């Protein structure tokens, strides 16, 4: 097994991409993760999953060095600056966004510049196609070297002489102050696709700068605060994970980064989960990215119209692929020995009843921003709601996709209630025909059942599932989605119990304290930490909420990125990285705090304010 020191901390990585795929760049200038041509495709480089056999593309000084890293302004162009005893050099990494520049999107650009002194750099390219399963050939060509697997090719254009030895490409070059060189990894293998690297860089920077959220000092920005820059970075991460062709948003760009180092909690997150829909649309709309929100909405509405309600899956591939068969890559050791490495995700075949309520939240959210449903879309919404009315009282796998068997999860029941509640509101407010009396009766039946079986008076809180006293952070969402108001004693008790039992160090929150059928323990879930911030703010404890939020933002990586989870004891990031849902949580928490401080949102009031009947407004400090 490779020593753990061969693996940088997860939070040490930067990310670049072209809205079709992404690459993770380590502090030593090594690209350790690069699936191609799409995020869910097999990898060309995967040293993050096996330091010896995964493959990497490294450019770093030959001598000892210190590293500084930053993004170029509000862009996804990454600069890694090396400082040695003899000089300073910078590697600038990027891919041109798909369909947004005149330059080939399937080219990974690496610009090498020296700003002072002299720096000797080493190059190492070790391509391993198809997660290292394909036989790789490498041969010299006029412009560099051409590597080929069973189906894909990668052409490295290099200004320096390269050596090929035992499947690896190596080379050295020395830069003096003022020198600039370019290395291009063309992932089509086409030598005749000419490009101007400097123009590609300028246009890529211009694209991201023009797209990112910006506001003038005189603007009443709802995201105003010490977290404003973190919100913008979170927005840029979401855009990077949004597929240019479909509008689908990947949960993360990686697979099998562990929730428990050395354990088995390793999952493939390069897919889109429908449960993210409502909160994602809220975040995108309030950032002013209405086109992205609309494309995302249209994408999952098309999926829902293509399948009958009982066939709608919790997650899909970024092109709508429903077949996400889960397999294990036994030849890879996993990040720091965390095995198995998985591709695909078996949760796609689970029954998760909460997804219907989350879909209706998304429909309701976007209609408040002016998007009306057509007759065909409403017909499918009616089908979904009628289906929920028939099956709400059945067990399921729940939002957390536990693998310990179906249960009567409280949150799943609540989201079935939400599906009916939001559908009723949409029908009443619009001109859509609906069996309102039948729906209202079903909504009340679900509500009574949840209050009778989902609330434990001895615990003083809503529990994870019927018949247990285990807590679940999803209880924090009950008032946000409008099930009960924030000043209800049962909601107050739930918030207090979750803070006391699942909270860690006044910053983090665990997902739950029940058995999920898997060995090992995970870190604190970043999104749940955001949910507690939201619940505290909306229930009148705004100072505590702001303090928690500022503390949480301090755990973002130096580049402003965050994984699915954080180890409360060490601050190390855990799970796939960067995680879309974590960044959505950052955006929405800033949105709630800004709204409660009296800043105006660009559209309707956020969900928790519109539906949840919050307690009071924030008093400016």
Place of tokens 């795929």: 21
| 185 found inside a domain | yes
Nearest of 297, 322, 318, 294 to residue 308 by alpha carbon = 322
80 lies in some domain: yes
DSSP 259: S
The residues near 374 (Cβ < 8 Å, ≥ 6 apart) are none
- Whether the link from the prior residue into 37 is cis, omega within 30° of 0, is yes
In-domain check, residue 91: yes
31 and 95 in contact (C-beta within 8 Å)?
A: no
Summarised one tens digit per residue, pLDDT across range 251-263 is 999 999 999 999 9
Owner of token pair 């500022």: 550
Using alpha carbons, select from 262, 433, 442 the residue that is nearest to residue 356.
442
Beta strands, E only, 521-600: 524-525, 565-566, 573-574
Q: How far apart are CA 439 and CA 338, in angstroms?
A: 47
Query: For the segment 210-239, what is each residue's pLDDT rounded down to a tens digit?
Result: 999 988 888 899 999 999 999 999 999 999
* Secondary structure in 3-state letters for 603-621: CCCCHHHHHHCCCCCCCCC
Asked whether residue 120 is assigned to any structural domain, the reply reads: yes
Choose the final residue of a domain: 169, 195, 221.
195
Question: Residue 327: is the preceding peptide bond cis (ω within 30°)?
Answer: no
Virtual torsion, Cα 539, 251, 325, 275, nearest 10 deg: 30
Quickly state the pLDDT bin for 4 (edges 50, 70, 90): very low
- Which pLDDT value is given to residue 305? 87
pLDDT of residue 413 exceeding 70: yes
Contacts of 530 (CB under 8 A, 6+ apart): 549, 552, 582, 585, 586, 588, 589
Q: Which tens digit of pLDDT belongs to each residue from 92-139?
A: 999 999 876 666 668 999 999 999 999 999 999 999 999 999 999 999
CATH value at residue 142 = 2.70.98.50
Query: How high is the pLDDT of residue 2?
Result: 43
How far is 234 from 289, CA to CA, in rounded Å? Answer: 13
**Residue ending a domain, choose from 195, 225, 255:** 195
- Domain range for 546 is 455-581+606-616
Q: Is the pLDDT of residue 14 over 70?
A: yes
Smallest CA-to-CA distance from 596 within 222, 127, 130, 294 is with 222
- For the four alpha carbons of 453, 456, 462 and 465, in that order, the dihedral sign comes to negative
Which pairs count as long-range contacts for 543-551, CB under 8 Å and 24+ apart, including other chains? 543/621, 545/589, 545/592, 545/593, 546/593, 546/618, 547/506, 548/506, 548/507, 549/227, 549/589, 549/590, 549/593, 550/226, 550/227, 551/506, 551/507
Residue 554 belongs to a domain: yes
When pLDDT is averaged across residues 457-475 and rounded to a whole number, the result is 97
Q: What is the C-alpha to C-alpha distance for residues 208 and 72, in angstroms, rounded to an integer?
A: 10
Is residue 471 included in any domain, yes or no? Answer: yes
Residue-level pLDDT at 617: 58
Q: Is position 353 within any domain?
A: no
pLDDT tens string 262-313: 999 999 999 999 888 889 999 999 998 989 999 999 998 999 888 899 999 9
Q: What is the pTM of this model?
A: 0.96
Distance between CA atoms of 103 and 105, rounded to whole angstroms? 6
Q: State the pLDDT confidence band at 404, using cuts at 50, 70 and 90.
A: confident
| The pLDDT of residue 194 is above 80 | no
51 neighbors 334 (Cβ within 8 angstroms): no
Q: What is the pLDDT of residues 330-384, one digit of tens each?
A: 999 999 999 999 999 999 999 999 999 999 999 999 999 999 899 999 999 999 9
In this predicted model, what pLDDT tens digit does every residue of 576-597 receive, in sequence order? 999 999 999 999 999 999 999 9
The total domain count for the chain is 2
Last residue of a domain, one of 145, 177, 195: 195
Predicted pLDDT of residue 103? 65
Inform me whether the pLDDT recorded for 189 exceeds 80: no
Mean pLDDT of the chain: 93
pLDDT tier, 3 (very low <50, low <70, confident <90, very high otherwise): very low
**Residue-wise pLDDT tens digits, 153-172:** 899 999 999 999 988 999 99
Residue 533 and residue 555 in contact, taking contact as beta carbons nearer than 8 Å: no
**Residue 195: which pLDDT band, with cuts at 50, 70 and 90?**
confident
Predicted confidence at residue 430, as pLDDT, reads: 82
């Amino acid at each position: 097994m490779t020593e753990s020191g061969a693996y940088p901390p997860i939070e040490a990585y930067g990310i670049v991409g072209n809205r079709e795929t992404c690459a993770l760049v380590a502090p030593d200038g090594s690209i350790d993760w690069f699936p191609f041509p799409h995020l869910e495709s097999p990898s060309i480089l995967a040293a993050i999953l096996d330091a010896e056999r995964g493959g990497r593309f490294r450019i770093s000084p030959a001598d000892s060095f210190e590293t500084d890293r930053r993004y170029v302004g509000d862009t996804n162009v990454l600069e890694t600056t090396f400082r040695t005893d003899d000089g300073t050099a910078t590697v600038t990494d990027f891919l041109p966004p798909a369909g947004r520049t005149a330059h080939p999107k399937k080219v990974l650009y690496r610009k090498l510049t020296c700003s002072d002194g002299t720096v000797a750099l080493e190059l190492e390219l070790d391509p391993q196609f198809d997660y290292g399963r394909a036989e790789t050939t490498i041969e010299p060509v006029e412009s560099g070297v051409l590597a080929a697997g069973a189906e894909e090719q990668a052409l490295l254009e290099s200004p320096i002489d390269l050596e090929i030895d035992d499947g690896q490409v190596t080379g050295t070059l020395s830069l003096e102050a003022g020198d600039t060189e370019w290395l291009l990894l063309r992932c089509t293998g086409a030598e005749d696709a000419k490009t101007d690297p400097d123009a590609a860089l300028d246009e890529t920077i211009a694209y991201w700068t023009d797209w990112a959220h910006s506001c003038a000092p005189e603007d009443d920005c709802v995201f105003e605060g010490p977290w404003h820059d973190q919100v913008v970075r979170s927005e840029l991460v979401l855009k990077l994970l949004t597929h240019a062709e479909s509008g689908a948003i990947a949960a993360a760009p990686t697979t099998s980064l562990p929730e428990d180092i050395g354990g088995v909690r390793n999952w493939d997150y390069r897919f889109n989960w429908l449960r993210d829909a409502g909160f994602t649309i809220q975040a995108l709309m309030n950032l002013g990215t209405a086109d992205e929100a609309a494309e995302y909405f249209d994408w999952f509405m098309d999926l829902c119209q293509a399948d009958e309600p009982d066939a709608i899956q919790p997650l899909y591939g970024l092109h709508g692929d429903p077949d996400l068969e889960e397999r294990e890559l036994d030849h890879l050791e996993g990040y720091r020995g965390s095995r198995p490495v998985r591709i695909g995700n078996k949760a796609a075949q689970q029954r998760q009843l909460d997804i219907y309520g989350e879909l209706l939240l998304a429909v309701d959210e976007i209609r408040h921003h002016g998007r009306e449903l057509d007759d065909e879309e409403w017909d499918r919404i009616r089908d979904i709601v009628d289906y929920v009315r028939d099956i709400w009282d059945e067990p399921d796998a729940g939002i957390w996709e536990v693998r310990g068997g179906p249960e009567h999860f409280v949150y799943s029941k609540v989201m079935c209630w939400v599906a009916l509640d939001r559908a009723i509101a949409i029908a009443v407010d619009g001109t859509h025909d609906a069996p309102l009396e039948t729906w209202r009766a079903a909504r009340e039946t679900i509500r009574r059942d949840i209050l009778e079986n989902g609330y434990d008076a001895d615990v003083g809180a809503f529990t994870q599932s019927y018949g247990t006293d285990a807590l679940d952070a999803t209880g924090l969402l009950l008032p946000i989605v409008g099930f009960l108001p924030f000043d209800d004693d049962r909601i107050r008790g739930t918030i207090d119990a979750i803070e006391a039992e699942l909270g860690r160090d006044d910053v983090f929150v665990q997902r739950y304290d029940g058995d999920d059928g898997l060995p090992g323990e995970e870190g604190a879930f970043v999104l749940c930490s955001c949910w507690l911030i939201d619940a505290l703010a909306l229930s009148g404890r705004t100072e505590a909420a702001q303090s928690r939020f500022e503390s949480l933002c301090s755990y973002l990586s130096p580049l402003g990125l965050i994984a699915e989870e954080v180890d409360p004891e060490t601050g190390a990031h855990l799970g796939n990285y960067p995680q879309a849902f974590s960044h959505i949580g950052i955006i929405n928490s800033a949105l709630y705090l800004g709204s409660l401080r009296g800043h105006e949102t660009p559209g309707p009031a956020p969900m928790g304010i519109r539906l949840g009947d919050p307690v009071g407004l924030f008093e400016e400090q």
